[in-house]
């Protein structure tokens, strides 16, 4: 009789338009009608439906106590559905003492949950979008994110659980964009027009990522489809082109400007030498300052000419270890002024062979060491490392323990005349970059404010291998070795 009664009650609950769940005192679901299954998007009975945190476990205990004391009672919980989404619900409960069960009626805010139909519609296309090379985000027409494919999650640096059931504008939370453009973007979406917006965000390591969001409402599916295109490479190429154009402009104008400036400077230096002999002791320090400032101007003009004028390069096979060693020796006096220690790490058993211009490479290394010394306070250290990264790449790194750079400084470090130093010209790293390109290399900067900077230079040695193979002396050595082996 009792079993028949239970069956009748279950049938009655199934016909109800309300969401009904029966639980035991531990929170395990004993019964759930179809309406509850639909709204909570679950077709199975999990062990426990309540979020397992201390806060909500305590809330559950308080609810049980309240139901025992003054049945019925009400409270609010966060449920986890089978898609691992958090759903806030209002619960009304009545304790059935003889059954030790809690009869509950729940109500979910429709705006906080994606409907079963919408989720089912998304699942139909999930396999399709997962195979696409571009990022794809599917969103309900009321602005709730349904899902995203693997590429979209990668580009946004998010996990699926972080974006699903969130508001669409969450995608732009850590992005930089034009506020006027995003207003127009949302306006076009609301008018069912194709909309696009270009944004910039940063990865965890601080590297910039440029993304283009293109959105269109699919009338057949009744959802918003957003394609995310990674345009980082295109933007970096554009920046390099702009950088080269600015260098070209400088090169075209700087030689004549430097010549015009040096003429009066030469006259001034000549008059200073004439006047110095008749100076008294009180006036002499002022002329020393004047000489020092003129020398600084001359050094600046030298940097400008080094960048702008054609270089007579003398390339030869050399050991980069020797170039670094000589550069460090030349910079030791400047390092000693601030008690800075320069450490040189390399493998003594290895020759770091490169086809390069000795003087230009030394000029590059000296500039990097000078920057490192000037970036540090007293009693700090600089580490210079040489490393063979496979047979085709030789890496040189210069690392300091100075004040470091922020993201803006890193992005602008190679721009002409950009400097954070009071007496800097903003041309040192430009010269470094110029030498690196001459030697078929690439420069990467790693830095963090308060933690120092690291300049990594990778030289591509494939051209060196071709050079060796075409060298008569090398061919002769190979032929001699072949003859000996016979």
pLDDT, one tens digit for every residue, the chain (486 residues): 344 445 566 677 777 777 788 877 776 777 888 877 776 654 343 444 444 334 455 666 777 777 777 666 777 666 655 555 556 667 777 777 666 777 777 766 544 445 555 555 555 666 677 778 889 999 888 888 888 898 999 999 888 888 888 888 888 888 888 888 888 998 899 888 999 999 999 887 778 899 999 999 988 778 899 999 999 888 888 877 776 666 666 666 666 677 677 778 877 878 787 787 777 777 777 777 788 778 777 777 776 666 656 556 778 999 999 999 989 988 888 888 888 889 999 988 888 889 999 888 988 899 899 888 888 877 688 999 999 887 788 999 999 988 888 887 787 777 766 666 655 556 678 788 888 988 889 999 898 888 889 999 999 887 654 444 444 443 333 333 333 333
Q: Is 318 exposed, middle or buried (0-12, 13-18, 19+ CB in 10 A)?
A: middle
pLDDT at 39: 62
pLDDT at 317: 92
Nearest Cα neighbor of 240 from 411, 432, 361, 426 is: 411
pLDDT at 110: 47
Quote the tokens at residue 187. Answer: 């306006």
pLDDT at 470: 46
- Other beta carbons within 10 Å of 24: 13
Nearest Cα neighbor of 398 from 380, 385, 413, 379 is: 385
Preceding amide of 72 cis, omega within 30: yes
pLDDT at 278: 77
DSSP 174: T
* CA distances (Å), origin 359, targets 313, 322, 433: 9, 12, 15
Strands (E) in 203-267, as ranges, are 208-218, 223-230
Nearest Cα neighbor of 40 from 98, 104, 95, 125 is: 104
CA 363 to chain centre: 31
If phi > 0 it is left, if psi is from -120 to 50 it is alpha, else beta; for residue 329 that is: alpha
CA 471 to chain centre: 43
pLDDT at 121: 56
> Domains plus CATH for the chain?
2-112 (3.30.450.20), 116-230 (3.30.450.20), 235-308 (1.10.287), 315-469 (3.30.565.10)
* CA distances (Å), origin 475, targets 356, 360, 392, 467: 20, 28, 20, 11
List Cβ<8 Å contacts ≥24 apart for 9-12: none
E strand or H helix at 219: none
Q: What count of residues does the chain have?
A: 486
pLDDT at 463: 62
pLDDT at 337: 81
Name the residue with tokens 């430009």: 430
* Sequence-ordered list of residues with C-beta below 8 angstroms from that of 211, at least 6 positions apart, any chain: 135, 155, 175, 198, 199, 200, 201, 228, 229, 230, 231
Q: What does the alpha-carbon distance between residue 113 and residue 326 come to, in Å, rounded to a whole number?
A: 68
pLDDT at 228: 94
CA 155 to chain centre: 11
Q: What is the pTM of this model?
A: 0.43
Find out whether 52 and 66 touch, Cβ atoms under 8 Å: no
């Amino acid at each position: 009789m009792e079993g028949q009664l239970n069956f009748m009650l279950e049938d009655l609950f199934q016909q109800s338009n309300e969401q009904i769940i029966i639980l035991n005192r531990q929170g395990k679901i004993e019964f759930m009608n179809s309406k509850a299954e639909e709204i909570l998007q679950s077709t199975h009975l999990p062990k426990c439906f309540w979020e397992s945190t201390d806060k909500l476990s305590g809330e559950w205990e308080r609810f049980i106590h309240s139901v025992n004391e003054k049945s019925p009672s009400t409270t609010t919980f966060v449920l986890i559905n089978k898609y691992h989404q958090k759903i806030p619900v209002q619960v009304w409960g009545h304790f059935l003492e003889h059954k030790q069960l809690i009869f509950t009626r729940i109500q979910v805010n429709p705006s906080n949950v994606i409907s079963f139909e919408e989720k089912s519609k998304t699942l139909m296309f999930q396999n399709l979008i997962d195979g696409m090379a571009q990022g794809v985000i599917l969103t309900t027409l009321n602005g709730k994110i349904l899902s995203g494919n693997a590429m979209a999650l990668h580009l946004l640096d998010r996990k699926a659980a972080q974006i699903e059931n969130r508001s669409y504008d969450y995608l732009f939370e850590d992005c930089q964009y034009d506020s006027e453009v995003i207003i127009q973007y949302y306006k076009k979406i609301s008018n069912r027009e194709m909309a696009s917006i270009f944004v910039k965000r940063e990865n965890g390591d601080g590297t910039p990522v440029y993304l283009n969001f293109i959105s269109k409402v699919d009338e057949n599916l009744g959802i918003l489809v957003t394609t995310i295109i990674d345009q980082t490479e295109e933007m970096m190429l554009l920046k390099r082109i702009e950088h080269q154009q600015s260098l070209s402009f400088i090169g075209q104008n700087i030689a004549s400007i430097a010549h015009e400036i040096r003429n009066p400077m030469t006259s001034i230096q000549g008059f200073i030498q004439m006047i110095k002999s008749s100076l008294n002791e009180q006036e002499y320090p002022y002329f020393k300052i004047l000489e020092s400032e003129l020398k600084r101007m001359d050094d600046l003009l030298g940097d400008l000419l080094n960048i702008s004028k054609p270089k007579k390069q003398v390339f030869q096979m050399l050991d980069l270890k020797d170039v670094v060693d000589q550069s460090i020796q030349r910079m030791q006096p400047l390092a000693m002024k601030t008690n800075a220690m320069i450490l040189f790490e390399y493998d003594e058993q290895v020759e770091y062979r490169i086809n390069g211009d000795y003087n230009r490479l030394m000029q590059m290394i000296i500039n990097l060491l000078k920057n490192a010394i000037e970036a540090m306070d007293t009693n700090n250290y600089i580490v210079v490392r040489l490393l063979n990264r496979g047979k085709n790449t030789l890496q040189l790194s210069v690392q300091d323990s100075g004040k470091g750079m922020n993201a803006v400084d890193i992005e602008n470090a190679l721009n002409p005349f950009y400097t954070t130093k009071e007496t800097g010209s903003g041309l040192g790293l430009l010269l470094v970059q110029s030498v690196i390109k001459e030697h078929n290399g690439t420069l990467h900067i790693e830095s963090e404010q308060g933690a120092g900077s690291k300049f990594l230079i990778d030289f591509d040695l494939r051209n060196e291998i071709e050079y060796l193979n075409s060298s008569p002396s090398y061919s002769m050595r190979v032929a001699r070795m072949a003859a000996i082996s016979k």
